[in-house]
């Protein structure tokens, strides 16, 4: 068995683009399994996002005014867009199974008015996932949209793995540990429903990792160019997802640039082609800012049902005080914030995050990376309060943990990558053991969370495992037992790939170590705006 696993991982990690492809396939499968395990409209506000996607695919990029704050309406076929109302009968009641919901397949294809809180959101994501509704109908249309969301999310997660694979093998273990912790159960859940949050979180992670590597030296020049292009793609896509996305990207870019210092940043922009790519990407990102400021300024501001309408100072302090709740939601609170996990799930994941922070802040030799990591943690805590406080007096408290999940992922990845930039490569076996422990724990928590979330929809959250076999429960498209087994197996594979990647040595690394024979010996390398080969050739542009 060990020989089979070794052969599979060796093939999957045979080149850095195989790392990308393998991670893409595995994480896509994980998102797709979440898609199958979640009933229609079972994700947070998913019904509104399904409506918006179906409308955007039909050219209805902005809905009609309903006279209700934050809500707009679309005229759409009922069998692809009438996913609210009785279909969400299980929302907010964790002991009511999804068996109460009628099938979307029973809806007619006649046009009907539907109301969405995402009516004025930027249509980029919704056009990308909504087009299957033009020829598919019923529940299969929603599952197709979920599959496309899972593919987008997987693409960006694969970019993170690709970026980490470009680091020297001695420096790879800690970023991989941080990556496995940053990819919380909520990340994969959001990647399996119709909601731009999953793409925003994974895209922010990709932008951080790719930009970090793009500003680093010693990367093969061709890989460096690929990294810059991928980072530009992440920038453009994420900036056009949600209203806060451009702000998150700006903070991420500033912190990564600060961690590297002025020298690498100046060298990065000294290359003409790099500057051109950056300018093009910024133009695309500005499009997202313009949309938010002109069309989607009030999108999604639906007044909360709570009676609290506090002033700015009280709202700011209350939001800060809610940070632990937001953190739990970012880890694993599924459904419409109605499916909590046992306390040990949050405790274990908090310990994993604490371990990443402790090692990064305690063992880094770079003041800049320590400051960047600490600043990212402060931003995660403070920025939600800054954003929410001005609007509480009119709409109440509407912030959720998933909104700041990109900031959490950003902080963890900066912590992980920061240790590598500080020159610490002397952990050896201890580092690999740390990675194995982190990944193993993460796999267990992910599988348990998947099982408990599925149990909530099949038999109710407070039900026993034996009640999963009772009659009258909700039945997902694939038998729940097969879904759990498949999810466990795929996540074990994902964990094994991460651990194996920490030990995988690529030919170009031998060149960096001083071995000048072989086809990689003369490969140009990025060295601060100057192309340098391993033999010392200097080629300026």
Q: Is 340 domain-assigned? A: yes
Q: pLDDT of the chain along its 541 residues, tens only?
A: 566 556 666 666 767 888 999 999 999 999 999 999 999 999 999 999 999 999 999 999 999 988 888 889 999 999 999 999 899 999 999 999 999 999 999 999 999 999 998 989 999 999 999 999 999 999 999 999 999 999 999 999 999 999 999 988 888 999 999 999 999 999 999 999 999 999 999 999 999 999 999 998 767 777 888 999 999 999 999 999 999 999 999 999 999 999 998 888 888 888 888 899 999 999 999 999 999 889 877 776 676 666 677 889 999 999 999 999 999 999 999 999 999 999 999 999 999 999 999 999 888 888 999 999 999 999 999 999 999 999 898 888 889 999 999 999 999 999 999 887 655 555 667 788 899 999 999 999 999 999 999 999 999 998 887 777 776 688 999 999 999 999 999 999 999 999 999 887 776 554 333 334 444 444 555 655 333 333 334 333 3
Domain of 231, in residue numbers: 1-506
Q: Is 303 domain-assigned? A: yes
Strand bridging mode 538-539 / 531-532: antiparallel
Whole-Å CA distances, 152 to 8, 27, 77, 198, 504: 25, 10, 26, 8, 26
Classify 451 in phi/psi space as left (phi over 0), alpha (psi -120 to 50) or beta: alpha
Q: Is 523 domain-assigned? A: no
Distance CA 53, CA 123 (A): 8
Q: Is 527 domain-assigned? A: no
Q: Is 524 domain-assigned? A: no
- Closest by CA to 323, choosing from 355, 350, 352, is 350
Q: Flag whether the pTM goes above 0.85.
A: yes
- Closest by CA to 301, choosing from 380, 243, 245, is 243
Distance CA 371, CA 361 (A): 9
- Closest by CA to 447, choosing from 493, 403, 407, 409, is 493
How many domains would you assign to the chain? 1
Q: Is 541 domain-assigned? A: no
Classify 181 in phi/psi space as left (phi over 0), alpha (psi -120 to 50) or beta: alpha
φ and ψ at 366, to 5 degrees?
-110, 120
Find tokens 């790719």 and name the residue.
210
Q: Is 324 domain-assigned? A: yes
Q: Is 300 domain-assigned? A: yes
367-388 vs 405-421: helix axis angle to the nearest 10?
170
């Amino acid at each position: 068995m060990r020989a089979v696993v070794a052969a599979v991982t060796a093939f999957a990690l045979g080149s850095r683009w195989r790392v990308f492809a393998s991670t893409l396939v595995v994480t896509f499968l994980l998102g797709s399994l979440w898609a199958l395990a979640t009933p229609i409209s079972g994700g947070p506000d998913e019904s509104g996002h399904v409506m918006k996607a179906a409308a955007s695919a039909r050219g209805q990029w902005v809905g009609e005014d309903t006279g209700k704050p934050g809500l707009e309406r679309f005229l759409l076929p009922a069998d692809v867009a009438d996913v609210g109302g009785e279909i969400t009968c299980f929302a907010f009641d964790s002991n009511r199974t999804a068996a109460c919901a009628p099938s979307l397949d029973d809806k007619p294809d006649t046009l009907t008015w539907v109301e969405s809180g995402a009516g004025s959101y930027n249509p980029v994501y919704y056009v990308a996932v909504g087009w299957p509704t033009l020829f598919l109908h019923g529940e299969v249309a929603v599952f197709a949209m979920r599959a496309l969301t899972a593919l987008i999310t997987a693409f960006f997660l694969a970019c993170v793995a690709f970026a980490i694979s470009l680091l020297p093998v001695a420096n790879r273990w800690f970023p991989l540990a941080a990556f496995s912790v940053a990819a919380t159960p909520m990340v994969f859940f959001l990647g399996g429903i119709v909601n731009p949050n999953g793409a925003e979180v994974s895209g922010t992670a990709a932008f951080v990792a790719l930009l970090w590597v793009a500003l680093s030296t010693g990367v093969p020049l061709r890989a460096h160019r690929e990294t810059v292009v991928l980072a530009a793609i992440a920038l453009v896509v994420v900036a056009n997802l949600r209203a806060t996305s451009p702000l998150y990207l700006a903070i991420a870019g500033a912190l990564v640039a600060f961690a590297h210092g002025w020298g690498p940043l100046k060298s990065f922009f000294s290359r003409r082609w790099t500057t051109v790519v950056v300018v093009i990407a910024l133009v695309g990102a500005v499009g997202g800012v313009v949309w938010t400021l002109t069309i989607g300024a009030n999108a999604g501001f639906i007044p909360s049902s709570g009676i609290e309408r506090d002033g700015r100072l009280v709202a700011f302090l209350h939001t800060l005080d809610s940070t632990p709740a937001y953190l739990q939601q970012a880890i694993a609170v599924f459904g419409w914030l109605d499916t909590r996990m046992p306390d040990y799930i949050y405790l274990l994941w908090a310990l994993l995050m604490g371990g990443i922070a402790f090692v990064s802040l305690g063992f880094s030799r770079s003041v800049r990376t320590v400051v960047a990591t600490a600043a990212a943690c402060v931003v995660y805590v403070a920025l939600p309060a800054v954003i929410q406080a001005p609007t509480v007096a009119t709409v109440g408290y509407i912030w959720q943990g998933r909104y700041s999940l990109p900031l959490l992922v950003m902080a963890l990845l900066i912590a992980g990558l920061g240790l590598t930039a500080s020159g610490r490569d002397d952990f050896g076996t201890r580092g690999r053991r740390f990675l194995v422990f982190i990944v193993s724990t993460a796999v267990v928590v992910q599988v348990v969370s998947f099982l408990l979330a599925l149990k909530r929809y099949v038999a109710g959250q407070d039900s026993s495992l034996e009640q999963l076999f009772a009659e009258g429960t909700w039945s997902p498209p694939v038998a729940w037992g097969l879904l759990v087994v498949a999810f466990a197996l795929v996540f074990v594979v994902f964990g094994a790939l991460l651990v194996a990647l920490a030990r995988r040595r690529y030919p170009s690394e031998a060149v960096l170590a001083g071995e000048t024979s072989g086809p990689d010996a003369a490969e140009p390398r990025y060295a601060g705006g100057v192309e340098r080969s391993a033999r010392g050739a200097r080629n300026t542009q």
